[in-house]
Structure 1
Amino acid sequence: MKKILLSAVALLMLFSCQNDTTEITPSADAIAKRGCASQEVLAAQMKADPSLALRMNEIEAFTQKSMLTGRLVNGKIEIPVVVNVLYRTTAENISLAQIQSQIDVLNKDFNAANSDFNQVPSLFAGVKANVEISFVLEAIYRKATTKTSWGTNDAMKIASQGGIAPTTPTTRMNLWACTIGGGILGYAQFPGGSSSTDGVVIDSKYLGNTGTAVYPFNLGRTATHEVGHWMNLRHIWGDATCGSDLVSDTPTHNAANSGVPAYPHYSTCSGNPVEMTMNYMDYTDDRGMYMFSNGQKSRMAAVFVSGGSRASFRL
């Protein structure tokens, strides 16, 4: 298991070098590998707003301090969710049932109530986590569009560009369901970004576990992965060869995994650890991911503590 020993200088380097990272982008015709644009969007936001790196460094320092001192949230954290549906076709105008199925998946995955949680290998049984955060669907807004795809430049969040502006994003998690394109299943804004673009975007073909949801990303885990980013989790491979995800109890991965790797799957990084391929923050198929770790739980909880970047969501 890796240890986190990041100085303020190292943190600055971590966030100021994000433009050098790349995402695995699957084919737009037949998506066989998970595509998440969160890191790509972060790089663009940091280029447009250099002060974002400083804010994220401050958030990271606060997170590490909160984790070390135990200053984490006690009590209930319930996230109100506003879903914004942008549709061109009837299929894209996803049903209430499909939207609610996604909320149900989030509640199961973040509360260790998912039926595949018991598949976590014994090697990781001691660190598998019940994050204890719940979600409630508060509102759905729908808007017809002529766009065939929205891309990752946040246009779906801007009314003047045909999108839907977020609803009270400091106390609501906004989720946009639309056709993203480019082989991207979804992306999220990390803590520290502008409230006018805060939230999670999921391609409507990969939202929930019913209706138009398309295999092998038809179990609602795209949103689980992206909400993890929204709560300050990094990809488990650290978006670099043998990189750090800033969590101490996840093994070092040499790169993203896809499909459903056979267990045990060994890393090529130092020590050749068994990779936690079933972690929600990898790139495996929906049926291949079914756990967060205790370290990830602590990292997520830190954003909700008093003074944290998402403390306004506390009940």
Structure 2
Amino acid sequence: MKKIILSAAVVLMLISCQNESTEPTTSAITHRLCASHDVLQEQLEADPTLAIRMNEIEAFTQNRISKSNFRLVNGKVVIPVVVNVLYRTASENISDAQIQSQIDVLNQDFTATNTDFGSVPAEWSAIAANVGITFELVTINRKSTSKTSWGTRDAMKSTKKGGLDPTSPTTTLNLWACTIGGGILGYAQFPGGSSSTDGVVIDSKYFGLSGTASYPYNLGRTGTHEVGHWMNLRHIWGDASCGNDLVADTPVAKTSNFGVPAYPYVSTCLPAHNEMTMNYMDYTDDRGMYMFTNGQKARMAAIFVSGGPRAAIGQ
């Protein structure tokens, strides 16, 4: 069991996503990259009060998790989703069916109804979680643009900058599908950031069930991983060698894992144990990740209870 330590370092333990596949791929991207680390660092530098808010959120989260009677106020969370599609080419203007496939993947992964959930190793079967959070697509907004790529400065989230403003961000999850560029698959904003930039950005080539051309990131798990960050989850290795992801039941990991490691994958972090490479918050290929834990479930649930940073969602 990992010791939870609250400090300013928690805020600065940022999300840098880098993943190298060990399998042949037809995708132009050979390393999984998300820009959450860089985006959050820029937000912290621009707004010194963000660190204070994130520390307060962390303290609230740990307090809620520690309560033996912890439960959601209304028993479940259904998250309304708005998808904002920004396209220059026909292929970037992804279909309604592809968009719905991402919603379907989120619903499966967050309710443990994904077909590969049965592959969870026996040693973790007792803590493999049905998070019990579901998603409902309510609106698709589309906008033709002349941009070849959007980068990671949140321009796609601003109508004034050629993108699309988020819709009701305090009560709704906004997803942006666009070409990010720079080899970035996606990035998320953690709880505590500005509502004007809140949500998740996913490159349109890796949005939902995107086809063999996007292998090994074609099963919608970029969305699952990034929404996990949006729900306050850290990487399973805690963004440091043998680091702390603030979840007690995830085994300590040396660093990010790539491709689809064969189980058991013995950690070099002592004492000797197996790493949970199939966790959604690792860097494995889409087909190599298929579980959350009960500890991660409790951490996510805490943001939706009364007083939590996303308590207005679904209300």
Distance 2:45 2:302 in 1: 26
Alpha-carbon distance, 1:14 to partner: 2.4
Change (3 A) 1:14 1:173: same
Which residue matches 1:13?
9
Equivalent pairs, count: 308
Q: Does the alignment pair 1:72 with 2:43?
A: no
> Retained in 1: the 8 A contact 2:16–2:35?
no
1:43 and 2:37 correspond = no
C-alpha contact 1:170 1:313 (8 A) present in aligned 2: yes
Shift of residue 243, structure 1, vs aligned partner? 1.1
Q: Quick one: distance in 2 between partners of 1:247 and 1:139?
A: 34
1:22, distance to aligned residue in structure 2 (A): 4.9
Three-state SS of the structure 2 residue aligned to 1:185 is strand
Seen in structure 2, the aligned counterparts of structure 1 residues 26 and 90 have a Cα distance that, compared at 3 Å, is: farther
Gapped regions of structure 2 (runs ≥ 5): 22-26
Report the alpha carbon displacement of residue 23 of structure 1 after superposing the two structures with TM.
4.2
CA contact (8 A) 1:110 1:130 kept: yes
Is the contact made by 1:86 and 1:145 (CA closer than 8 Å) also made in structure 2? yes
Alignment-mate amino acid for residue 35 of structure 1: L
- Work out the CA distance in 1 between the residues paired with 2:221 and 2:206: 8
Q: Does 1:297 align with 2:310?
A: no
CA contact (8 A) 1:76 1:314 kept: no
SS of the equivalent of 1:312 reads coil
Task: Give the corresponding residue for 2:83.
Answer: 83
1:33 equivalent to 2:31? Answer: yes
Contact persistence 1:23–1:40 (CA under 8 A): no
Contact in 2 for aligned 1:207/1:213 (Cα 8 Å): no
Residue from 40, 56, 59 that aligns with 1:58: 56
Alignment deviations for residues 67-114 of structure 1 (CA, whole Å, 9 cap, x no partner): 001433141210000000000100000000000000000000000000
Cα distance per residue 1:163-214 (max 9 Å; x no partner): 1000000111000000011111101000000000000000000011145861
Q: Structure 1 unaligned runs (5+)?
A: none
Distance 1:260 1:234 in 2: 20
RMSD: 1.7
1:13 CA displacement: 2.5
Q: What TM-score do the two structures reach when normalised by structure 2?
A: 0.94
Does the aligned pair in 1 maintain the 2:252–2:275 contact within 8 Å? yes
Taking the TM superposition and a 5 Å limit, the aligned residue runs for 1:165-244 are 165-210=165-210, 214-244=214-244
| Distance change in 2, residues 1:211/1:217 (3 Å) | closer
- 2:142 aligns to what SS in structure 1? strand
Per-residue displacement from partner, 1:11-53 (whole Å, max 9, x unpaired)? 21321464xx7542779x8322321221221111111111100
Aligned mates of 1:254, 1:310 — CA distance in 2: 31
Alignment CA distance shift 1:147-1:26 (3 Å): farther
> What amino acid does structure 2 have at the position aligned with 1:72?
R
- Specify whether residues 17 and 244 from structure 1 end up closer, same or farther in structure 2 by C-alpha distance, changes over 3 A only: closer
Report sequence identity in percent. 66
Is residue 152 of structure 1 aligned with residue 127 of structure 2? no
Secondary structure in 2 matching 1:34: strand
Question: Which TM-score applies when normalising by structure 1?
Answer: 0.94
Question: Contact (CA 8 Å) 1:304, 1:314: kept in 2 or not?
Answer: no
Structure 1 segment 90-109 matched on structure 2, within 5 A:
90-109=90-109
2:24 alignment counterpart: none
Deviation at 1:3, TM superposition (A): 2.8
Match for 1:55: what amino acid?
R
Q: For residues 211-244 of structure 1, give each alpha carbon's deviation from its aligned partner in whole angstroms, at most 9, with x where no partner exists.
A: 5861100000000000000000001111111111
The change in CA–CA distance for 1:207 and 1:65 in structure 2 (over 3 A counts) is same
Provide, for residues 99-149 of structure 1, a one-character-per-residue CA deviation record: whole Å limited to 9, x for no partner: 000000000000000000000000111110000000000000011111111
Matched, 1:24 2:22: no
User: For residues 203 and 78 of structure 1, what CA distance do their matches in structure 2 show?
Assistant: 24
1:297 and 1:287, CA in 2 relative to 1: closer, same or farther beyond 3 A?
A: same
Residues in 2 aligned to 1:26 and 1:258: alpha-carbon distance in whole angstroms: 5
CA contact (8 A) 2:129 2:294 kept: yes
Task: Give 3-state SS (helix, strand or coil) of 1:79's partner.
Answer: strand
Report the equivalent of 1:312: 312
Give the whole-Å Cα distance in 2 for the aligned partners of 1:208 and 1:73.
28
Conserved? CA contact 1:236–1:250, under 8 Å: yes
Which residue is equivalent to 2:247? Answer: 247
CA 1:46/1:312 → structure 2, altered by over 3 Å: closer, same or farther? same
- 1:302 & 1:115 partners in 2: Cα distance? 27
